[in-house]
Amino acid sequence: MMKRNKKLSAFLGEDTDIEGKLKFHGTLQIDGRFKGEITAIGSLIVGESGIIEADIHATNVLSSGEIRGAVSADEVIEILDPGKVFGNIEAPNVVIHPGVVFEGNCWTHAPKKRVGEDQVLVIRDAKAEKKMITEK
């Protein structure tokens, strides 16, 4: 299960109604309405009053609201009662609690690394290595 003690970077309240492309880093909670596309390096939390009509890609998605669209996460998708999801979901870990309405397909897979994550570039210089060996 996703940790719920994440510090919020931003909050969109119940009276919020936004349309467009949303990109963010950190943790965002939406309790209002959003229509469009959401991309995040971080966690998206959809509160009970939240209604999302969007394709979502985030590190983690935690929802007790309504989502209509495809949802993919790099780590976890967790849907809490009284949450509703109408669309396909994909993540390494998926948790669907009792009482949730889910209409769509679900795929789980091994965790994917984001570009640049835990990567080390090793540059080998054959001349320098040869020189080091001959100097010993």
- pLDDT confidence tier of residue 124, bands split at 50, 70 and 90: very low
pTM of this prediction? 0.78
- 13-34 pLDDT tens trace: 999 999 999 999 999 999 999 9
- 30-58 pLDDT tens trace: 999 999 999 999 999 999 999 999 999 99
pLDDT of residue 117 exceeding 70: no
Three-state SS letters, 46-104: ECCCCEEEEEEEEEEEEECCEEECCEEEEEEEEECCCCEEECCEEECEEEECCCCEEEC
- 57-109 pLDDT tens trace: 999 999 999 999 999 999 999 999 999 999 999 999 999 999 999 999 999 98
